[in-house]
Amino acid sequence: MDRQKNNKKIVLLIGVAVIFCYFFSEVVLRQFVLHRAGTQSISLSSILGKLPPGIRDEVTRRITIAELKDDLKAAKTIGEKIRISINLAMTISPEELQKNYAEIIEKYPKQPESLPAFTNFLMAPKTALKSISVSQYQDFIKLLNKEERFWAWSAGLSKLKMRKLSNKELMNFLLPLLNVKPTGREYQQIYTELSELAFEEKNEGIELKAKKFAELCETLPYFDEVLEKREKARKLAKAKKLAKAKAAKLSKEKNKSIKRDK
pLDDT, one tens digit per residue, over 24-38 is 455 555 555 454 334
Per-residue confidence (pLDDT) for residue 32, from 0 to 100: 52
8 Å CB contact between 216 and 182: yes
Predicted TM-score (pTM) of the model is: 0.71
3-state secondary structure of 52: coil
Tell me the C-alpha distance between 247 and 175, whole Å: 48
Per-residue confidence (pLDDT) for residue 80, from 0 to 100: 96
Residue segments in the chain with a per-residue pLDDT below the cut of 50: 23-24, 33, 35-42
pLDDT, one tens digit per residue, over 102-130 is 999 999 999 999 999 999 999 999 899 99
Per-residue confidence (pLDDT) for residue 53, from 0 to 100: 64
Tell me the C-alpha distance between 6 and 2, whole Å: 6
